[in-house]
Each structure stands twice: as structure tokens, then as C-alpha cells.
Amino acid sequence: MPFKIYQGSTVIAEGESPLAINGLEPNTEVTAGEYQAVRVDGERESERVDIPGFTTLAESEPDQIEEPNVEPEEIDVRPQTNNFSEQGVVRYMTATVLPEEADQTVTWESEDTNIALIDAEGKVTARNPGTTTIIATASNGVTGTATINCNWGG
């Protein structure tokens, strides 16, 4: 059976119970009788009944779900060994920070940029013959490495 809530002659809420009085500021004190409730049966309304006085709840911050801070423990860099047979060849490296719940952000670095370059996305470009190490570093300093071999004649 539906209900209505009145404030004076204005209907401010109607429907099935429970009903809510919206638009009140936090910590608002409402006096008894400021609002009345009626039961509705078809077109007929029951006699108005005063709603007891109340104070609205204080405003609260939405519940914050705090993610646990999981520190990186190791980095798995793939492929572990890269063999380039000509200058300018490009390949992509991947880095998986473990455990998987840890921040997956890494920075890339080549120990010898004369032999191979690596950009922020893990793209390796062969430059000159030789061997170098690519290093992926997590936010807390944990590292993972891979080997780059650049071998071509002339």
C-alpha cells in the first residue's frame, strides 16, 4: 500500500515504504509535525499523522577503499636474449613486475646506447655491433635485465 509525505500542503515523497525526505542539509534539526505521512488507498488518503522530530545525519566522506601497497619484488623481462643481425632493426621488450598486484610501471635503460637504444615503451633499436644489457627498473628500484647481441659484418 502506497504512502505520501507532506510538508504543509506539498507532497514531497510518495510510493511504497520506506520513503525518503531528500534535499535536507546534513545536521538539520526537523521539528515534530513539520512533515506528515498518509496512507493512500486508491483515491483516498488516511488522516495525516505527524512524523516525529529528527536530526539528519552528518555529511560523511564516501568510503575509501584503500588498495594495499604491494611492493615490486622482481621483474621478468622478455625476451631474455635478443639477437640482431642488422643495424636499425627494432624489437619490443616486455616487463612483468611481480607480484602481479604491484605497480607495473617500469623505466627502461640501455647500459650502452652506442650498441642499442630502448625507449620508454620498451622499443629496442639496434645501432652498432656488440653486446649490451637492457635494464627495466620498478618504482622501488627492483630491476630485471635482458641481453642484446648485435652481430653483423662490415
Model confidence pLDDT, tens digit, residues 49-94:
999 988 888 876 666 666 678 999 999 999 999 999 999 999 999 9
Model confidence pLDDT, tens digit, residues 127-152:
999 999 999 999 999 999 999 999 98
- Please give the pLDDT value at position 96: 95
Distances (CA, A) of 66 to 63, 69, 70, 94: 9, 9, 12, 29
CB 79 within 8 A of CB 136: no
- Please give the pLDDT value at position 69: 85
Model confidence pLDDT, tens digit, residues 17-57:
888 888 888 888 999 999 999 999 988 999 999 999 888 88
- Please give the pLDDT value at position 67: 66
Smallest CA-to-CA distance from 128 within 103, 105, 153, 102 is with 153
Cα distance between residue 2 and residue 41, in whole Å: 7
Cα distance between residue 22 and residue 80, in whole Å: 61
Between 96 and 17, the more confident residue is 96
Three-class DSSP labels, 19-77: CCCCCCCCCCEECCCCCEEEEEECCEECCCEECCCEECCCCCCCCCCCCCCCCCCEEEE
Hey, what's the cell of 6?
507532506
Class of residue 106 by CB neighbours under 10 A (exposed 0-12, middle 13-18, buried 19+): buried
